[in-house]
Amino acid sequence: MSECGICPSNPSRRNLYPLVKSSCAVSVVDVNIHAKLSQTYVSTSTEAEHVNYVFPVPSDAAVCAFTAVIDGEHTIKGIVKERKQAQRDFDTAVKAGKTAALLKHHTSQVFEVSLGNLKPQQTIAVNVEFISVIAHAGTNDSLRIRIPTSVAPFYGTPPVSLMDSHGVAYGAPFFDLSAAFQMTGNITSITSDTHPVACSLGSLTAESAETFDPTRAHVSLHTTELLRNDIVLELKCTGLDRPRCLMQRLCSTTSDEATDAYSLTLVPRFTASSIASQEYIFLVDRSGSMAGGRIRAVRDALHIMVRSLPSKGSTFNIFSFGDRCDSLWPVSVSYEKDTVAAAATHIDSLSADYGGTEIAIALQTVFDSRKSADGPSKKPVAVFVLTDGEAWDLQRVFANVDRAVKETDKATRIFVLGVGNQVSTEMCDGIARAGRGVATYVREQEKPDAKLVGLLKAARSTLVDQIVVDWGFPAELEADFEMIETAEAAAVAPQTDPAPSAAPLSLFDDANQPTETDQLGPQEEDVQLPAPPRIQQAPAREDALPPMYPGARCTIFALIRSQRDAAQPKSVQIIGNMNGTPVTLDVPVIAAPPELMPKEPETVPFIHSLAARALIQDLEDSATPAPLTAITKAKIARLGTTFHLASSQSSFVAIDERGETVPTKPDVSTISHASSRSAISSQEESDDDMGYGLFDGGDAAVPASAFSTVSRSRAAVAVEYDEEDADEMDQEMGFALYDGDDLSTVLAPALAPAEVSIDPAVMKQYQLELAAATAALPEEDDEFDFEPTSFASSAPLPAYVPPPPLLTMTNVAKMQQFDGSFPAEQSFIINDLQLGSIPSPPTMLTDSTNETKRALWHTIIALALLKKRFPSDEERAACEFLEAKAKEWFLDTLADAFSVSADDGEKLLQEWMQLASASV
């Protein structure tokens, strides 16, 4: 994980801005989130300086507000302007000696604030607010809220503007999280597997005298530990997946016009037929960043997914990638007994030993494997990418996916499983959008089974596409509808009549002197945009919306110009097509709840901001693989400035206009900047699978009061991996987790930056205190005075027999045959399923010499055990395809070997399941 926070432009002065306090306040309303990140720094510099503040946000979030509080009493507020204009205003203010701030976009997950002319001994609090629609958790009626605490050390070359950023000094002593939840249904649970949070159900605050309300909850976290992983909260709530369409109205202050914003959200639930014949390709990230728990999660995931593939009409292959890419077979092979066995052996051998993360090359290798002399195969293919997504070359990745989808007439679909505690959602979600698939996420210690089967269910199902939304407006309004452009459709500037003939111009005119503002290189075109159309929808493509899949949340936004007194539509209608069959859904329109209304008059309403962010995302996606055109840039800038959002074409700028000005100390790090750029390629090679960290760690003396925080943090890390994990990581990543006792090599998170070396005086004092605390106790205090001979006179201890391995769903899946049956051998029941003995079979299957009868009974026993040992909703979902294949084989075998009809076979299945359940 990479360091974030205050970063001086001169790396030699990196330790002069310690973080003293950090917090995050979160408000969740239904499936929407508003978060305010706050960090307070103190300048210990003796001169005014220019520093940078780097921070992460969720990839689908809209950064909607920025303020900086100076010395706790003066606030400078960010104003959104076109990107280059904001930069010019910032540079002018800094040159004049004013304290100024500039917030700019690097990627959808990484933003940076430049702070100019920070005064000596000045305290500055940086406040950044963002909003987003919460991603689907991959299970029914649930939300997963991820609060990023760092920018991951992505592989490859970062944006040029980030190359000059350097690490921070040392971490904050405190971090506070406060999250309030207001849902439409009853909250049934809130949990966090990543951090020890405190949860209060029934109210919006930790201590409240208000009446218990089951739709409300509050979560808090207070820690002095360094945060090493993103904070993840999971919430379950009744009715959360039901369709809803919220509307907010923003009235003009100068006319009778208004802008209505719509947020249409649903988790589709429909019965879809299975695709009869399809190719399945698994693309596995084996880069160094996947070491430890991540690669183990991938191995378990692959075993379940491969065993869950249809036994008829399927071909499959497994690709591995890092800084190279190879495959188990040159081309996909038929799904048979021998190929499934070979795949299982291959999966067990997977380790994170492939170096860097070249996702773009790997995807292209997969697509090329399907090409022949006649071009790309048009046979349906589902590609599953299992990765942490930690790479910078986003646009090249998206371009490769977009091209493959178009070349195969949409027969190619890409599904992504993001693996790990710190995943690039921008990469994973972007691949899924471009590949007409879905993305879901699992943490390193989380069981991936149910979410994997959800992805597989989507890939095996006939999808709903050709989707359009009827927003309930008259036809003349619907006609004024903007479809996102994929290329320039017209000239940038309006055409004018040719000028009349004039006298020849001189090629050298002394009166035409160059000015300081003249710029070299290509200039931005002066774009004159027409007024926005009445209806702007996102996603909105020329060939309708992206497809919908059962169980995957879909959100559609719209901005519609109307009148302030116009009636609110009663409903909107979704229209689509599934395999030639029309599908429709009417969704009632309701006014947005008061919690989503702006609390200040000048604040842009919540849904308007989300809709504008979605429109910006759609404009950027539409440009892939080509660069953004002048018209597209202008449209993005207009959306950003109109709705106060930071984007690739708009930035926040804040200037302190009061008091005396102090010029910034001249930047003496220009030479080191150039050398840092040139060192990037060698850094990538030396880091290999870790790739290029955004900032290099540094050492700094730390106050004695901070020692306990650092030492506790180190202890926490020590128990995070067992010895086997550490050995595996050392071998796969090419270096030890820690080099000696220098904790400065550990990259630190944004909300609590880097660990540091300890003052020798503090260490000596600590050692003295530790020695005193652990001194030998007096003899009279020793209550455990054992006789030395007691052990000698005892009988020899029996040899240690380790317990059998825990029976997991992955283990059961690995025992299943490719056709769905389970082994007929006695050892399968006694040893593999750990039952000790074989339950008595029904009369029809008592002939133990008949292998088919033994396999039928063993398959029934395995089905009964799966149902009894894995009863939760998530476990039941994960077993779905394993059980379906087993039942299909059971019924087919009864029909073929014993001429049992389908109805009678179903009855025998239920009877024998009950018989077996009593014994497992």
Residue 820: inside a domain? yes
Helix residue ranges per DSSP H, 408-520: 425-434, 449-460, 475-479
Whether 286 and 430 map to the same domain: the answer is yes
Using CA atoms, how far apart are residues 644 and 608, in angstroms rounded to an integer?
A: 10
CATH code: domain of residue 373: 3.40.50.410
- Computed on alpha carbons and rounded to an integer, the radius of gyration of the chain in Å comes to 31
At 147, the pLDDT band (50, 70, 90 cuts) reads confident
Task: Supply the pLDDT for residue 475.
Answer: 54
- The mean pLDDT of 223-249, rounded to a whole number, is 84
Task: Supply the pLDDT for residue 676.
Answer: 34
Task: Supply the pLDDT for residue 9.
Answer: 56
User: Of the candidates 6, 11, 51, 421, which has an alpha carbon nearest to the alpha carbon of residue 172?
Assistant: 6
Residue 205: inside a domain? no
Is residue 302 predicted with pLDDT exceeding 60? yes
Highest mean pLDDT among 34-43, 594-603, 854-863, 872-881: 854-863
Residue 397, domain extent: 278-460
At 55, the pLDDT band (50, 70, 90 cuts) reads confident
CB 267 within 8 Å of CB 553: yes
Residue 744: inside a domain? yes
Residue 642: inside a domain? no
At 457, the pLDDT band (50, 70, 90 cuts) reads confident
The 10s digit of each residue's pLDDT in 667-683 is 433 222 333 333 333 33
202-206, 415-419, 530-534, 600-604: the lowest-pLDDT one: 600-604
Residue 863: inside a domain? yes
Task: Supply the pLDDT for residue 625.
Answer: 62
Whether 719 and 580 map to the same domain: the answer is no
CB 592 within 8 Å of CB 609: no
The one-letter code for the residue type at 623 is A
Whether 455 and 476 map to the same domain: the answer is no
Whether 720 and 865 map to the same domain: the answer is no
Residue 283: inside a domain? yes
Residue 55: inside a domain? no
* Average pLDDT over the chain, rounded to an integer: 76
In the block, residue with structure tokens 């973080």: 19
Per the structure, how many domains does the chain have?
4
- Per DSSP bridges, beta strands 110-118 and 79-82 are unpaired
Using CA atoms, how far apart are residues 284 and 359, in angstroms rounded to an integer?
A: 10
The 10s digit of each residue's pLDDT in 325-349 is 999 999 999 999 999 999 999 999 9
CATH code: domain of residue 262: 2.60.40
The one-letter code for the residue type at 146 is R
Q: How many CB atoms lie within 10 A of CB 681?
A: 11
Domain boundary pick from 716, 750, 772: 772
- The mean pLDDT of 569-581, rounded to a whole number, is 89
Whether 267 and 284 map to the same domain: the answer is no
Whether 385 and 297 map to the same domain: the answer is yes
Using CA atoms, how far apart are residues 543 and 410, in angstroms rounded to an integer?
A: 12
Using CA atoms, how far apart are residues 381 and 378, in angstroms rounded to an integer?
A: 8
CB 303 within 8 Å of CB 338: no
95-104, 313-322, 370-379: the lowest-pLDDT one: 370-379
Whether 402 and 355 map to the same domain: the answer is yes
- The mean pLDDT of 83-89, rounded to a whole number, is 95
Is residue 131 predicted with pLDDT exceeding 70? yes
Whether 326 and 261 map to the same domain: the answer is no
Whether 738 and 830 map to the same domain: the answer is no
Whether 535 and 426 map to the same domain: the answer is no
CB 294 within 8 Å of CB 352: yes
Q: Which residues are CB-neighbours of 740 under 8 A, at least 6 positions away?
A: none
* 808, two tokens: 């997991």
CB 106 within 8 Å of CB 203: no
By 3-state DSSP, what share of the chain in percent is helix, strand and coil, each rounded to 5?
A: 30, 25, 45
At 588, the pLDDT band (50, 70, 90 cuts) reads very high
CB 64 within 8 Å of CB 609: yes
Residue 147: inside a domain? no
Task: Supply the pLDDT for residue 347.
Answer: 95
